Homo-oligomer: A and B are copies of this chain.
Amino acid sequence: MTMEDRFVGADSPTDLTTSYSDHRACPVRDVLDRLGDKWSTLILVTLSQSPQRFNALTRAVPDISRRMLTETLRHLERDGLIWRKVTPSTPPMVSYGLTPLGTSLMPPLNALIAWAERNQPEIAAVRARFDGPIANG
């Protein structure tokens, strides 16, 4: 085991590609592709603070459209990551929150977010160097 192996850790995932006769059938891709859309992560993080009503979510994520909010919530509910509770009052009240499954996703997700936060300055610097030579001549 090399130093790099130790750093990467022993939790290397199983093969994501050649194990599957149909490559699109990979269960990891199946799950992660849904998380890779524009809003899912943001909604999950918001709901991990506390359950929220629909309108509260539009305020917490100001640049999402109602259409995309509805769609994202439905996808997350379909995957069992969030629950949806309807209180049939007038006006109606609909709340959303993390399920235990959704909660179990937050540690790895927060770790990834923390990595992004920690390393964004370096990434921005590398990008500038990468793009610079062309821009600067």
| Interface residues of A, Cβ cutoff 8 Å to B | 4, 7-9, 11-14, 16-18, 23-24, 27-33, 35-38, 41-42, 45-46, 48-49, 60-63, 77-80, 101, 103-117, 119-127, 130-131
Q: Which residues of B contact A7 (CB under 8 A)?
A: 103-104, 107
Q: Contacts A36-B37, A112-B32 given: A107-B13 contact, CB under 8 Å?
A: no
Copies, count = 2
Kindly report which residue of chain B lies nearest to residue A26, judged by CB atoms.
B42
> In the complex, what's the smallest C-beta–C-beta distance from A135 to chain B, in angstroms?
13
Q: Contacts A13-B114, A48-B8 given: A62-B123 contact, CB under 8 Å?
A: no
B117 touches A14 (CB 8 A): yes
